[in-house]
Amino acid sequence: MRVMVIGGDGYCGWPTALRLARLGHHVSIVDNFSRRRIGQALGVESLVPISSLDERLQAWHELGGTPITSHEIDVAESFESICSLIEDIRPDALVHFGEQRSVPYSMESSSGGLFTVRNNLMATTNLLEALVQTQTDAHIIHLGSIGVYGYETLGYEIPEGYQRIRRVDPSGELGPEHESLHPFNPVSKYHLTKAMDHLGLAYYAAKHGVRATDLCQGTVWGAETEETRRDPRLANRFDYDPTFGTVLNRFALQAALGKPISVYGTGEQTRAFIHIEDVLGCIVGALASPPKRDDHRVQVVNQIAECMRINDLANLFADRSDSEVVRIASPRSEPDENDLAARNHGVKAFGVDPVLVSPAKIDTLIEFARGYADLADPRNLYPTEAPKNLEPVT
C-alpha cells in the first residue's frame, strides 16, 4: 500500500512511518519541521536527542528497512505542492498528523493560538480538497482528540462519534430515532481545531465521498517502539516541558530525578490515555478497515486505552520513586475536576489489546527517563511560576 504520513517527523508520525515501512508499505513522509522550529524558539528540546530526518532515514536504510521517502512541504500553505505530490504518488491512504499538537502552546499567546488555528484547519482542508481536485480515492486517517467533547462530567459513556437521538416535535411527541454526531465542547484553541477538523471530514465524506477516519485520541505516553529501539538514530521524541510534555512522560522524568511530581490544580481531573505502541496498532488497524466507498460519513474511533484521574497517576509514580506529589496552580483553563468515560470498541475491533498503566510499566518509563536524566533542563520541568506555588500533598 502507498501511504503518505503527514507530520512524519513527529512524536506519533515518526514511529508510525517506521511501523508501516516495516510491514512492507511504501511510505512517504511529508513534514515542514515546524515542531522542531517551535521547540528551538521556546528553548525546549526533547530529553532524548533526536537525529535529523535525513539521518533517521539513512539509519533505517542501513538497517535494511523498506525505503521511506521524504518531502518538505508546508501542507497548510502549499496547496499546489501537496496536489502535485498526491498526483505523483497516488497514495492509497494518508495518515494525517500534520498539526500543531500542544494544548498549552495554543493558549499561551495570541501568536501560538492563531498559528494553531491557521495551521491545523488549513492543513486538513488542503489535504481533503487535494484528494477531491486530483480525483484520488485515498483513505484519510486523521489524528483527532477525545478532548473535542470537553472535560465536563457528562454522566454517560461518550460514544464513538455518533449518538442516537430523538427530537421532540411541537406537540411534545417523540420523533423517529436517528444518528447524529456527538456535540463538541472544546476547552482550548487546539481542541477547537480538532472539532472543526472533525466537521470538515464529515463534510467531505458526505459531499465528495472522501473515505475518512477520525481517531479521537487520548493523551499518548511511552518512549520507545520496536523500531525506534533498533538504532539510537531512530530514537523518538521524549518531551517533558510544560508546553509539549505529556503528563506521564513528565511525571517519569520528575520521578527519575527525584524531583516533586507536579499535579496541576486539584488533580481530580480525569483524562484518557493510550500507549504509543497502541497508537501504531490503531493506525495499522484503521488502514485495514477503511470506510466503504458508499458510506459517505466519517468513521470515528475513540483511540483510548483507559481513563484515569491525575492524582491516581501521580501517586503511582510517587510510590515507585523517592518523589513527593505537589500541587501547582493550574496554568490551564479547565474544570477543577471531572469524571470521564468513553467507549473504545473501535480500538479492540482493530485487534489492539491496549497497554494499561501499571507499576511495571511505570518502572520501565522511569528507568528509561533516568538513562537520559543528565540531559534534562531543570528550568523546563515546571511552568515558569511553579516554584512559588509548590504545595506538598498531605
- Residue 123's nearest CA partner among 241, 237, 229, 4 is 4
pLDDT of residue 386: 45
Beta strands in 286-385 (DSSP E): 299-303, 306-309, 325-328
Residue 247 near residue 313 (C-beta atoms within 8 A): yes
Low-confidence ranges of the chain (pLDDT < 50): 386-394
337-to-6, 144, 308, 343 alpha-carbon distances in Å: 35, 23, 12, 20
Q: Read out DSSP for 178-232?
A: EEEEPPP--SSHHHHHHHHHHHHHHHHHHHH---EEEEEE-EEE-S--TTGGG-G
pLDDT of residue 170: 87
Residue 56 near residue 227 (C-beta atoms within 8 A): no
HEC sequence for 152-178: CCCCCCECCCEEEEEEECCCCCEEEEE
Residue 105 corresponds to which cell in the numbers above?
502552546
* C-alpha–C-alpha distance, residues 207 and 212, integer Å: 12
Q: Which amino acid appears at position 135 of this protein?
A: Q
Instruction: Write the DSSP symbol of residue 285.
Output: H
Residue 103 near residue 62 (C-beta atoms within 8 A): no
Query: For the chain, what's the residue count?
Result: 394
Question: In this predicted model, what pLDDT tens digit does every residue of 221-251 receive, in sequence order?
Answer: 999 999 999 999 999 999 999 999 999 999 9
Domains of the chain, residue spans: 2-238+274-304+339-355
131-to-83, 163, 286 alpha-carbon distances in Å: 8, 28, 18
Residue 90 corresponds to which cell in the numbers above?
497516488
HEC sequence for 108-148: HCHHHHHHHHHHHHHHHHHHHHHHHHCCCCCEEEEEEEHHH
The verdict on domain 2-238+274-304+339-355 having CATH code 3.40.50.720 is yes
pLDDT of residue 329: 86
The burial class, CB within 10 Å (0-12 / 13-18 / 19+), for 84 is middle
Bridge partners (DSSP) listed for residue 353:
none
Q: Which amino acid appears at position 104 of this protein?
A: P
* C-alpha–C-alpha distance, residues 138 and 141, integer Å: 10
Q: Read out DSSP for 8-58?
A: TTSTTHHHHHHHHHHTT-EEEEEE--HHHHHHHHHT---SS----HHHHHH
pLDDT of residue 330: 80
Residue 350, CB half-sphere, CA atoms under 13 Å: how many? 29
Question: In this predicted model, what pLDDT tens digit does every residue of 317-332 receive, in sequence order?
Answer: 999 999 999 999 887 7
Per DSSP, the three-state class of 5 is strand
pLDDT of residue 333: 73
Residue 122 near residue 55 (C-beta atoms within 8 A): no
* C-alpha–C-alpha distance, residues 121 and 200, integer Å: 9
Residue 82 corresponds to which cell in the numbers above?
501537496
Dihedral of the CA atoms 35, 37, 43, 49 (nearest 10)?
70
- Number of CB atoms found within 10 A of residue 370's CB: 16
- Residue 304's nearest CA partner among 351, 268, 263, 355 is 355
pLDDT of residue 385: 56
* C-alpha–C-alpha distance, residues 42 and 257, integer Å: 23
Backbone angles phi, psi at 137, to 5 degrees: -90, 75
